[in-house]
Structures are given as structure tokens and as C-alpha cells.
């Protein structure tokens, strides 16, 4: 064997394998962060609708919801305000700044075939929809490729049948 001609071959092979291995590890890390953020957005949507069905109607929708007549009434939609308690409840499940007021819409619509005819107020379907949430990739910024790489997550919505749409405050 002529070892003089093979000097450094193992180092080159190791460098190639190491680059591929590190790229694979970073891809796994980035993909797991993406899936984590996506699942948090889904959970925040669920938390928002759970909060909305048992508390007061969102301020921007209050006058429209008061005028809904079921069956056959038109749905009322509004965007959440920055001071919304529903938005605050949703932001508890995600990282700071992921979900903003402009990303969330809430819709109140008539629920068909639900409830009792003697009920004084209509039973509504409350839908919370989150759109336009961006995932900023972490690994490219860490290795010096810039922070501009983002991916817009798909829209998520959750619907529940309303309860009383009233927040009790103790006297």
C-alpha cells in the first residue's frame, strides 16, 4: 500500500460527512421548532374560542351580536383589538409576539338545530380564526445566513357553541 498518496483522504471524507450530518441535524432542529410553533398556534386558537364562549362578546362585535336573530340571521365578524381579553388568553400559549390582534378574527353565527325554543337569546356558533402567523427560521440566523427566512403558517380556526357570552363579576 502506498500510504503517502492517501494522506489526508480520511480528513476530506470526514469533512464531507460532517457537513452533511450537521445540515441534517440543523434541519431536524428547525423542523421541530416549526412543528412546535404550529401546534402552539392551533392550541391558542382553541384557547381563544373556549374563552370567547363563556365571556362577554368582543367589543367590536357587541352591537352586531345583539341584533342577530336566529334562525337565519347573518353572521357577525370582527377583528380583535390589542386590548382584547380573548387575545390575551390566546397569547398565553404562544411565544411573545407570535399572534397579534391583526391575525385574529372572531365570528358569531346562528347555530342551526341547537338549543331550546324558549331560550331568550339565540345559541350562537363562535369561531376564532388565526391567519397570517409567520414562523421565522432560527438556524439560518445562527449560522450567519440572515434572519429574512420566514414561512407563513396555514390559517387555523376553532368553533364552539356559545354558552352565555357573559362574564360574571362579583358585586
pLDDT of residue 11: 86
Question: How far apart (Å, rounded) are the C-alpha atoms in residues 112 and 122?
Answer: 10
| This model's pTM is above 0.85 | no
Residue 58 in contact with residue 84, Cβ under 8 Å?
yes
Q: For the chain, first and last CA: distance in Å?
A: 93
Mean pLDDT of 44-52: 90
The confidence score (pLDDT) of residue 35 equals 92
- Is the per-residue pLDDT at 96 higher than 80? no
* Rounded Cα distance, 55 and 27, in Å: 42
Instruction: Write down the pLDDT at residue 170.
Output: 57
**Could you tell me which residues are beta bridge partners of residue 128?**
106, 158
* Cell representation of residue 143: 449560522
Among 123, 149, 120, 127, which Cα is nearest to 50's? Answer: 127
Buried-exposed string 52-72: b where 16+ CB fall within 10 A, e elsewhere? bbebbbbeebeebbeebebee
Residue 166 has, within 13 A of its CA and on its CB side, a CA count of 7
Report residue 99's pLDDT band, with 50, 70 and 90 as the boundaries. Answer: confident
State the Cα–Cα distance between residues 27 and 21, nearest whole angstrom. Answer: 10
Amino acid at each position: 500500500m502506498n500510504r503517502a498518496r492517501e494522506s489526508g483522504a480520511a480528513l476530506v471524507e470526514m469533512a464531507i460527512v460532517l457537513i452533511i450530518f450537521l445540515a441534517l441535524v440543523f434541519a431536524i432542529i428547525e423542523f421541530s421548532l416549526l412543528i412546535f410553533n404550529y401546534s402552539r398556534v392551533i392550541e391558542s386558537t382553541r384557547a381563544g374560542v373556549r374563552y370567547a364562549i363563556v365571556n362577554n362578546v368582543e367589543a367590536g362585535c357587541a352591537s352586531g351580536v345583539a341584533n342577530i336573530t336566529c334562525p337565519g340571521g347573518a353572521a357577525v365578524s370582527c377583528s380583535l383589538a390589542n386590548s382584547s381579553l380573548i387575545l390575551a388568553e390566546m397569547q398565553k400559549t404562544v411565544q411573545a409576539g407570535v399572534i397579534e390582534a391583526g391575525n385574529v378574527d372572531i365570528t358569531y353565527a346562528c347555530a342551526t338545530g341547537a338549543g331550546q325554543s324558549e331560550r331568550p337569546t339565540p345559541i350562537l356558533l363562535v369561531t376564532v380564526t388565526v391567519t397570517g402567523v409567520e414562523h421565522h427560521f432560527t438556524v439560518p440566523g445562527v449560522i450567519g445566513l440572515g434572519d429574512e427566512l420566514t414561512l407563513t403558517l396555514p390559517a387555523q380556526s376553532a368553533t364552539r357553541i356559545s354558552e352565555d357570552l357573559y362574564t360574571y363579576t362579583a358585586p
